[in-house]
Amino acid sequence: MIKGCQNECMGGGCSGETGKQMTESFKASDLIITPATTFKEKPDPTGLVFGTVFTDNMLTIEWSLASGWEKPYIKPLENLSLHPASSALHYAIEPRGQTEENLVSLLWLNEYTLFEGMKAYRGVDGKIRLFRPALNMDRMARSARRTTLPSFDQNELLECIRKLVEVEQEWVPYSTSASLYIRPTLIGTEPSLGVKKPTKALLYVILSPVGPYFASGSFNPISLWADPKYVRAWKGGTGDCKVGGNYGSALYAQQEALEFGCQQVLWLYGEDHQITEVGTMNLFLYWINEDGENELATPPLDGIILPGVTRQSILDLARNWGEFKVSERYITMSDLTAALEENRVKEMFGAGTACVVCPISKILYKGKHLHVPTMENGPELTTRFLNKLSDIQYGREDSDWAVLVS
Task: Report the first-to-last Cα separation within the chain, whole angstroms.
Answer: 42
Position 399 pLDDT exceeds 90: yes
Give me the torsion for CA of 183, 52, 75, 85, rounded to 10°.
Answer: 70
In this predicted structure, what is the pLDDT of residue 355?
A: 87
Strands (E) across 173-245 are located at 179-188, 200-210, 222-226
Point out the least confidently predicted range of 19-33, 192-206, 244-258, 390-404: 19-33
Percent of the chain with pLDDT over 70: 88
Q: How far apart are CA 135 and CA 280, in angstroms?
A: 18
User: What is the phi/psi pair of residue 357, to 5°?
Assistant: -135, 150
Q: pLDDT tens across 276-322, in order?
A: 999 999 999 999 999 999 999 999 999 999 999 999 999 999 999 99
Distance CA 208, CA 354 (A): 12
% of the chain beyond a pLDDT of 90: 78
Cα–Cα distance between 361 and 373 in angstroms, integer? 6
Regarding predicted confidence, which is higher, 248 or 163? 163
What is the reported pLDDT for 12?
A: 38
The pLDDT-based confidence of 196 (bands split at 50, 70, 90) is: confident
Q: Which is higher by pLDDT, 46 or 29?
A: 29
Q: What's the pLDDT band for 24 if we cut at 50, 70, 90?
A: confident
Q: How confident is the model at residue 108 (pLDDT cuts 50, 70, 90)?
A: very low
Name the pairing type of β-strands 356-365 and 222-226.
Answer: parallel
Q: Model's pTM, two decimal places?
A: 0.89
Report pLDDT digits (tens) over 326-376. 999 999 999 999 999 999 999 999 999 988 999 999 999 999 999 999 999
Which pLDDT score is estimated for 100?
41
When the pLDDT of each residue in the chain is averaged and rounded to a whole number, the result is 89
- Band (pLDDT 50/70/90 cuts) for residue 42 is very high
The reported pLDDT for the residue numbered 223 is 97
Look at residue 111 in the predicted model and tell me its pLDDT: 53
On the question of pLDDT at 23 being above 70, the answer is yes
Query: How does residue 89 score in pLDDT terms, banded at 50, 70 and 90?
Result: confident
- The mean pLDDT value for 84-105 works out to 56
pLDDT for position 91: 73
Strand partners of residue 349: 284, 359
Range list of β-strands (E), 51-116: 57-64, 68-69, 73-76, 113-115
Predicted pLDDT of residue 216 = 54
Per-residue confidence band for 172, with pLDDT thresholds at 50, 70 and 90: very high
Confidence of residue 258 (pLDDT cuts 50, 70, 90): very high
